[in-house]
Amino acid sequence: MRFATFNVNSIRSRLETVLAWLEEHQPDALALQET
């Protein structure tokens, strides 16, 4: 099982990059956090 975590600070400016990463790595669980 693969887990991923991502700090969503400024996600709007990086959304395409994040979606591409998720498609490539396909984690089983994703935790979103904001600092």
pTM (predicted TM-score): 0.69
φ/ψ of 4, rounded to 5, equals: -135, 150
CA dist 22 and 15 (Å) reads 10
CA dist 1 and 35 (Å) reads 26
Other Cβ atoms less than 10 A from the Cβ of 27: the count is 14
Average pLDDT (6-13) is: 87
pLDDT of residue 35 exceeding 90: no
The tens digit of pLDDT for each residue in 12-34 reads 888 999 999 999 999 999 999 98
Give me the helices (H) in the chain, please: 11-25
pLDDT of residue 10 exceeding 90: no
